[in-house]
Amino acid sequence: MKGQLKVSTPKQYLDSLEEPRRSEVAQLDALVRKTVPKLTPFIHAGMLAYGPLKYRSKAGREMEWFKIGIASNKGAISLYACAADERGYVAERYKEALPGANIGKSCVRIKKVADLDLKALQKLLKETEKIGYGEP
């Protein structure tokens, strides 16, 4: 996966990207930090991550993960919203509000930040922070 870089800090991650992708990811990083400031930024699995999280899978395996992640992949920027509850995955609830994105269970894939409704994205980020990760 192209978004997984061998870096140890968020700054190194951003500095390793080429333009115009660097500016796009930096814009998303700033939005996440402003919207959910309690989620500590760090690097996990070679990508930008916010809010360390202990996660237990349905199989009972426990692992370290994150609430929100950003990866600059080959074809798009992926924003991971690791949150779900009895109503389903948080990211999937925003398909209509974010028509400029390709949304899967926990992943919002975009080409450009300008393609997004930033108010809707901020709502998604806040909901992700509040709910945390569970499986529907």
Calpha distance 34→17 (Å, rounded) = 21
Look at 19 and 1; give whichever has higher pLDDT. 19
Q: At residue 33, does pLDDT exceed 60?
A: yes
Percent of the chain with pLDDT over 70: 93
Residue 1 has pLDDT above 50, yes or no: no
Mean pLDDT calculated for residue range 97-118: 95
Distances (CA, A) of 26 to 32, 96, 119: 10, 25, 17
Show the CA angle centred on residue 99, arms to residues 55 and 34, nearest 5°.
Answer: 55
Residue 38 has pLDDT above 50, yes or no: yes
Domains of the chain by start residue, with CATH = 10-131 (3.90.1150.200)
Cα separations in angstroms, 50 against 20, 25, 69, 90: 23, 14, 6, 16
Quick check: helix, strand or coil at residue 54? Answer: strand
**56 pLDDT band (50/70/90 cuts)?**
confident
* Overall average pLDDT of the 17-26 stretch: 96
What is the rounded average pLDDT of the residues 78-85?
94
Whole-model pTM: value is 0.90
Query: Greater confidence, 122 or 54?
Result: 122
